[in-house]
Amino acid sequence: MTGLLEIRGARRSFATPEGGRIAALDGVDLDVGANEFVTLLGPSGCGKTTLLRSISGFEALDAGVIRLDGRDIGALPPFRRPVNTVFQSYALFGHMSVARNVGYALEVGGVARAERERAVAEALDKVGLAGFGARRPSQLSGGQRQRVALARAIIGRPRILLLDEPLSALDRNLRQQMQLELKTLQHNLGIAFVFVTHDQEEALTMSDRIVVMRAGRIEQQGSPRDIFRHPRTRFVAEFIGETNLFDVTVDRIEGEVAIGRTAEGLELRLPGAGLTVGRRATAVLRPADFRLAEAGLPVTITRSVYLGQDLNLFAAPAPGGPEIRVTARDAADAPEVGARVHLAYDAAAVHLLEGA
Amino acid sequence: MRNPLGWLLLTLFSLLFFAFIYAPLAVIIGYSFNANPINMMIWDGFTLDWYRGLFGFADRTADPNSRALYVESTDQLIAALKNSLIVAAVTTSVSTVLGTATAIALARYRFRLRGFYRGFLLLPMMMPDIVLGIGLLIFFVTLGMKLSLLTIIIGHCTFLTSYVFIIVQARIAGIDPALEEASADLGASEWVTLRKVLLPQLAPGIVGGALLAFVISMDDLVITYFIAGTDSTTLPVFIFGMIRRGVKPEINAIATLLILASVLIAALGLWLRSRKIDK
Ligand SMILES: Nc1ncnc2c1ncn2[C@@H]1O[C@H](COP(=O)(O)OP(=O)(O)O)[C@@H](O)[C@H]1O
Ligand SMILES: [Mg+2]
């Protein structure tokens, strides 16, 4: 991979009101390739914004280096860095027209008026706002403002576009539409995107690579499928989508399959490779990994949540014990609450957490 | 449901309230057209004489008895007005620049003793005028400065800067710092960001502060009274001097003209604001 952005050993701490210090970045190494769509994902307060602002230059690192195209940019002020940002609050200039907002980077860069107007029209067209140039930001809807902020940030053709939770203020439908559009736009522009979100679904939909952060560190990074199917830690498994975690001890090996027992006595079939009797492990099973079947794990349905096409079922292997989450199609024969059913799953599909 | 009695009381109260505020002004305007030169309180018919007198058009020989009642010299009045305008224009410019710059510095830069400076800037506003006036007088005398328009201007700047500062500061507190970051992010240096983003965003506050400074400077009597030299009388000081020698009808005319000027300035301010919003 050709490294466009290279961050090594990034550290940044802040003083807390209580008089202590909190490490917003606690030794972060990150690479972003040209053309790559990288998503920083993690709970609120894990340091995503701080990392993004270190790249744009609004936060100075206590330690570590940031290189862009091999050049150390750590000492450059924000206005000299070839990266642009889409701010969470959009930060549009209310005293300027939409066109002047979009053309701002060119205006301060000394680009001639005619060339500027052409580029503004093109940028507005790219985000689907052709003809809106004469309006004021206050005369636009939230989604339209979002597009103006986007057009304004891409007009200068930055090496990297930074986006800090840009979709969080939009309603669900618009957000999903914008997710697809952003991805398409990124593909067409050929600019690397570093996108911040705390929404795992958004991260899965858009990213080439997801970087899961936790308390100022990178917990795991990889492709969306990799992160979803092969979480390395409990934190990642629980943060990315709904999941069932079972702490088991391997009871016996039956050919390809290992049988693990939970503390409650539940028996689970696991992929046997590398497991020995007595080993402890944590098994990850997504709700969609289970099927309702004639034979398998006997359970009682305790709750059923209607989601439209699907049902979220909660199934208890033993009365009053821990529940298993299962996704099932909503059909005429879907089990009612109280029904006794069997859950089947593919032992090879069970993922084991490392070092559990 | 609306309570009719409550509604009536509220209406009555509102009317009384406005009457209370505007009655003195109405009285002044009314009497400025009263022909009775001796007792202003007795209506003696309509006249424009007092206005003519102000502008030097009155035929002072016509009635020798009332001669002493007229403004002694229209030239003095005009000179005082001119002084007031010069002082107000210069102090407004200086204190608007200083107040705005200070508000920006305190809101956007971190340095030692920030809180101390903030409090220090508000002090001149809290200080009784009489104290400020005496203090300034002693200060100028100590320095050996001759009382003149310059001393008035310096004196006015000391407290008007605080007024502008307060108003601009209130405006700056409502501006999203992300705007300036966005500007820097898009390649603008600090200076360009100030010019193209921060100052335009602050414009309503700056204009408001400047108008207020202008009006207060034009209007100030107590402080100016201490630090005005004999040849640098401002309009309020001049009027005060006239009143000490008896309330004369021309004063009503002057007051009426001042009311008119204030209304025009206020209207100008409102018009500027509405134009900003429309655009
Ligand atoms: N300017 C700041 N001053 C003090 N603490 C800060 C500042 N910026 C961030 N922090 C702290 O650093 C941590 C990481 O913040 P942030 O990067 O904004 O997280 P995220 O964007 O992932 O929600 C948080 O605990 C936050 O309170
Ligand atoms: Mg954040």
Spell out the SS3 assignment of chain A.
Answer: CCEEEEEEEEEEEEECCCCCEEEEEEEEEEEEECCCEEEEECCCCCCHHHHHHHHHCCCCCCEEEEEECCEECCCCCHHHCCEEEECCCCCCCCCCCHHHHHCHHHHHCCCCHHHHHHHHHHHHHHCCCCCCCCCCHHHCCHHHHHHHHHHHHHCCCCCEEEEECCCCCCCHHHHHHHHHHHHHHHHHHCCEEEEEECCHHHHHHHCCEEEEEECCEEEEEECHHHHHHCCCCHHHHHHCCCCEEEEEEEEEEECCEEEEEECCCCEEEEECCCCCCCCEEEEEECHHHCEEECCCEEEEEEEEEECCCEEEEEEECCCCCCCEEEEEECCCCCCCCCCEEEEECCHHHCEEECCC
At the top level of CATH, the class of B74-246 is mainly alpha
User: What's the distance, CA B258 to chain centroid?
Assistant: 11
pLDDT of residue A296: 87
pLDDT tens digits for A30-45?
999 999 999 999 999 9
Q: Which residue of A has its CA nearest to B191?
A: A108
* A207/A99 same-domain check: yes
* A268/A290 same-domain check: yes
Both tokens of A137, joined, read 């930001």
Q: Is A95 in the B-facing interface, judged by CB distances under 8 Å?
A: yes
Separation of alpha carbons A93 and A102, rounded Å: 10
By residue count, chain A amounts to 356
pLDDT of residue B69: 46
Q: How many CB atoms within 10 Å of residue A46? A: 23
In a mutational test of the pocket of ligand 1, which residue from A11, A16, A49 has the highest number of ligand atoms less than 8 Å from its CB? A49
Domains: count for chain A = 2
A44 lines ligand 1 (CB under 6 A): yes
Q: Which of A208, A239, A270 is the last residue of a domain?
A: A239
pLDDT of residue B206: 94
pLDDT tens digits for A162-199?
999 999 888 888 899 999 999 999 999 999 999 999 99
Q: Which of A194, A218, A239 is the last residue of a domain?
A: A239
Strands (DSSP E) contained in B138-186 are none
Whether the Cβ atoms of residue A162 and residue A197 lie closer than 8 Å to each other: no
In a mutational test of the pocket of ligand 1, which residue from A40, A50, A54 has the highest number of ligand atoms less than 8 Å from its CB? A50
* A345/A232 same-domain check: no
pLDDT of residue A355: 60
* A175/A190 same-domain check: yes
Task: Sort out which chain B residues have CB atoms less than 8 A from A58's CB and list them.
Answer: 181, 184-185
Nearest CA to ligand 1 atom 11: A24
A23 lines ligand 1 (CB under 6 A): no
CB pair distance less than 8 Å for A84 and B186: yes
Domain that includes residue A146, residue range: 3-239
* A299/A250 same-domain check: yes
Q: Which of A206, A221, A239 is the last residue of a domain?
A: A239
* A325/A198 same-domain check: no
Q: Tell me the longest C-alpha to C-alpha distance in chain B.
A: 77
Complex confidence, ipTM: 0.86
Q: Is B177 in the A-facing interface, judged by CB distances under 8 Å?
A: no
* A250/A234 same-domain check: no
Q: Of the candidates A94, A95, A104, which has its C-beta nearest B186's C-beta?
A: A104
Q: Which parts of chain B register pLDDT below 50?
A: 64, 66-70, 278-279
Whether pTM exceeds 0.95? no
Ligand 2 centre distance from Cα of residue B200 (Å)? 28
A98 lines ligand 1 (CB under 6 A): no
A45 lines ligand 1 (CB under 6 A): yes
* A202/A322 same-domain check: no
A43 lines ligand 1 (CB under 6 A): no
pLDDT tens track of chain A, all 356 residues?
468 999 999 999 999 988 899 999 999 999 999 999 999 999 999 999 999 999 999 999 999 999 999 999 999 999 999 999 999 899 999 999 999 999 999 999 999 999 999 999 999 999 999 999 999 999 999 899 999 999 999 999 999 999 999 998 888 888 999 999 999 999 999 999 999 999 999 999 999 999 999 999 999 999 999 999 999 999 999 999 889 999 999 999 988 899 999 988 899 999 988 888 989 999 999 999 999 988 889 999 999 998 888 889 999 988 877 899 999 888 777 888 888 999 999 998 899 996 64
* A261/A305 same-domain check: yes
* Nearest of A34, A32, A36 to residue A54 by alpha carbon: A32
* A87/A156 same-domain check: yes
For A174, list phi and psi in degrees, rounded to 5.
-65, -35
Whether the Cβ atoms of residue A12 and residue A59 lie closer than 8 Å to each other: yes
* A160/A282 same-domain check: no
Q: Which residues are within 8 A (CB) of A67 and not within 5 positions of it... i.e. 6 or more apart?
A: A3, A5, A6, A7, A8, A73
